Structure 1
């Protein structure tokens, strides 16, 4: 076949008819790129030669080969465009042409991404070793003296065509494999993300239920005690006043009363009893603050986005972690003047909990001369975002670990001491808030987590 319409004529063809004629057209399906990947026996030959007689001769040599489609072009300037349009499996290229040298055209084919892998057989009238060497050096796959024996020509065309089709099939298979690998990798990441989200949801749900139950159980009796303090205070003040009145109205001594007064140390009781009441009231106030902090941390009544005070969430988290701070770790707060932030409060508090817990773990594990510190700084930038910085003065994190620190299930803690989901959850939560979280670490100053979130969420 030589083009797309006219069958090969019985009379010698002109350049025009030769360049537009197909051999055995009735037996050949139209070319489609996908057939190359499926049919490795497809053979499409493109001959580029300025001599019309060579085109006619090759056309006749291939006339009886039903599986070979043949195309001819006598203008080398249009060769690459023609090759791109018909996608040959073999190119027959004349070495010597008047306008464009065959070797130059060969280099053009090899430099073009659409043709650089197509097998090219150079045709020449000279049997010289140097010419062959130059052809192979420029990228030729084969070299034939024109006109070659028909059996040899067909054998070489089919050999190179099959090798090329196999190469394309292999490339397509490799591309498919790479695509499938990327899809599997993406699916795995999605599964990890989903798993982390499920764990987070379950974790927050369990924590919320526990905190809610604990807060409820503590809140009721403490409110009862706290509510009765005012009455107890009034009653005791009344009794103490009554004792004073008795002492004033009956100044005469009574041995029984005097002995009992000395035994119970009445004067000390009168002095100390108000202090005890004040201390007990302070204790109930403290318990009520803890309950309020637990509710503020869990935010069970604020599942939707709310405008909240970020500092309250940080303080509530520190209060819950206070038993771990003890006297060893100093917490320094450098709070800026922040507006109310539109966020999911419970989730954001979970981020603070994860980062602060990790900082405490690191500091408690280290034996260092200097005071162990956690510095929490908040500020508002000029881009409508707030910046929260949590820094510890621990040993820092290596660059290799910093790249993995937000990966799901990655942890440096021993088995049963870390799941590797805390920071992965934190990363997802900050992303959900349309913000950024990143880590800066160096052994000289410790580890610093930076959180940036907008003051208002864009829906």
Structure 2
């Protein structure tokens, strides 16, 4: 193998100047290599390399990265067309311009060369002016292709970076909105629960005393009736007027109903506090069913519009989580289910089924399914995107499910949707029972 030593030193500048040309000649005849070297030696912008062993051609081409390859059509050990196909099949050399050299100018040979991937075809030895012109033409085209590919790759990388930055900005924005939303909701619910809790506890705590006082007074009336003159017309008329017998019978019932009412209010207050869980900002092992039930209490007024809740709770272990955030997930999913059912015009029963079970690998699964109008496949691919909403203006922010997705991701879980138009919608939330440290 021989090589033009005067041009070898210039090869280090090839990648710095795209106008420089690097030529690799592959020919088994040394005399051809020397002849081409002489033809190109006066061109300062052309670096020339020659190899007479085609078996080393691929490795040599990868090493020097030529901008043009001159390839002998006929060689004794490896056919030129076969080597041409090897170049075209290798990712490092597949785009390099290849000019086939042959002593024969037969149309079929040219057709075979172009069919195998050649860029040009010359008769050995060509005129020096034509050879240099074709080398520069193919080299410039190849350098332009590389520059275009590099610019395209850079543009794609920048576009990807911009896309990732946009997603990060959207995620940050959603997180800020979710944090403020949960903080405001939590403060409002906790404050409401506190304001209701104090007077209700006062009323409820006095029921025992009121019960005793009432029975004491009723006993006193009974004794008075037994011991005093029953013929006093004034007393007798008043007893009949107020229907004392009915009052005596109904008063304990009224008191019992009032006590049950205060107990219901206390249960609602407990549910409100469980939903807000401001005292549990850190992760904590909780009963998932308790969070779902608390959420249903908050939504009870909307559920009264003809929506039936069917609970199919399984035996679940305590789940380590951020309780208030998970309650927000249940709130968003259930609110969307209620919206879908209330928009449904058909007279069929409106139902939401909540199913819980233990999944594999120390995970639990919460499935919330409605029999509403369903969601098209096109929309399903977007429902977790921030700010995407199908609701009218001022009726939806498009953040509920995006926030839910982030919360579930934060808990190292998954949230999926299964739906089809006319067949309802099913949300599947899968959560680990223990959060990684």
Place the TM-score, normalised by the shorter chain, in its bin. over 0.9
- Alpha-carbon contact 2:230-2:236 (below 8 Å) kept: no
Q: 2:346 is paired with a residue of what secondary structure?
A: coil
Match of 1:11 in 2: none
Deviates more, 1:437-446 or 1:168-177: 437-446
1:101 aligns with 2:79: yes
Moved more, 83-92 or 226-235: 226-235
Gaps of 5+ in 2: none
User: Which of these residues, 284, 294, 314, is aligned with residue 272 of structure 2?
Assistant: 294
Report the Cα distance in structure 2 between the residues aligned to 1:391 and 1:206, rounded to whole angstroms.
29
Alpha-carbon distance, 1:268 to partner: 2.0
TM-superposed CA distance for 1:331, in Å, is: 0.8
Matches within 5 A, 1:49-64: 49-64=27-42
CA distance in 1, matches of 2:255, 2:350: 37
1:132 aligns with 2:114: no
Aligned mates of 1:327, 1:42 — CA distance in 2? 79
Q: Please, which of 30, 49, 57 is the counterpart of residue 12 of structure 2?
A: 30
Q: Confirm or deny: 8 A CA contact 1:297 1:313 kept in the other structure.
A: yes
SS in 2 for 1:23: helix
Provide runs of 4+ in structure 1 moved above 6 Å: none
Distance 2:229 2:295 in 1: 58
Residue matched to 1:225: 203
Q: Would you say 1:156 and 2:138 are equivalent positions? A: no
Decide whether the 8 Å contact of 2:7 with 2:48 is kept in 1: no
Kindly provide the CA deviation profile for residues 282-327 of structure 1, in whole angstroms up to 9, marking residues without a partner as x. Answer: 1111111111100001111111111111111111111111111115
User: Residues of 2 paired with 1:108 and 1:25: CA distance?
Assistant: 26
Instruction: Give the distance between the partners of 1:156 and 1:222, measured in 2 at CA.
Output: 96
Tell me: CA distance 1:348–1:68, structure 2 relative to 1, closer, same or farther (3 Å).
Answer: same
- Structure 1 match to 2:228: 250
Q: Do the aligned partners of 1:317 and 1:349 also contact (CA within 8 Å) in 2?
A: yes
- Alignment check: 8 A CA contact 1:22 1:71 kept: no
The answer to which of 106-115 and 363-372 deviates more is 363-372
Match of 1:310 among 280, 285, 288: 288
Distance (whole Å) between structure 2 residues aligned to residue 124 and residue 326 of structure 1: 90
- What pairs with 1:420-431 in structure 2 (closer than 5 Å)? 420-431=398-409
> 2 CA distance for matches of 1:436 and 1:157?
59
**1:399 maps onto 2:373 in alignment:** no
Kept in 1: contact 2:375–2:419 (CA 8 A): yes
What CA distance in whole angstroms lies between the structure 1 residues aligned with 2:362 and 2:411?
Answer: 13
- Residues 250-290 of structure 1: CA deviation (Å, up to 9, x unaligned): 14322222222223222222222211211111111111111
CA distance in 1, matches of 2:50, 2:369: 74
* 1:162 Cα deviation from its structure 2 partner: 1.1
Contact 2:413 2:432 in 1 (8 A): yes
Alignment size in residue pairs: 437
- CA 1:259/1:238 → structure 2, altered by over 3 Å: closer, same or farther? same
Name 2:435's counterpart in structure 1: 457
Aligned to 1:191: 169
Could you say what secondary structure the match of 2:18 adopts?
Answer: coil
Alpha-carbon contact 2:21-2:139 (below 8 Å) kept: yes
Cα offset, 1:381, TM superposition: 2.9
Aligned to 1:111: 89
Residue 9 of structure 1 corresponds to none
SS at match of 2:12: coil
Aligned-pair CA distance for 1:223: 1.4
CA distance in 2, matches of 1:242, 1:327: 48
Task: Decide whether aligned partners of structure 1 residues 159 and 454 sit closer, same or farther in structure 2, where only a CA change above 3 A counts.
Answer: same
Aligned residue in 1 for 2:70: 92
* Post-superposition CA distance 1:76-131 (Å, at most 9, x none): 11111110110000111111211112122111111111111101111122222222
Rounded Cα–Cα distance in structure 2 between residues aligned with 1:383 and 1:77: 55
Cα RMSD over matched residues? 1.6
- Aligned mates of 2:347, 2:329 — CA distance in 1: 29
Question: Secondary structure of the equivalent of 1:331?
Answer: strand
State whether residues 11 and 22 of structure 2, in contact with CA within 8 Å, keep that contact through their aligned partners in structure 1.
no
Are residue 70 (structure 1) and residue 48 (structure 2) matched?
Answer: yes
Q: Aligned-pair distance for 1:175?
A: 0.5
Range with bigger deviation, 199-208 or 399-408: 399-408
Aligned ranges 1:250-399 → 2 under 5 Å? 250-326=228-304, 328-399=306-377
What TM-score comes out, normalization by structure 1 length? Answer: 0.92
Query: Is 1:83 aligned to residue 58 of structure 2?
Result: no
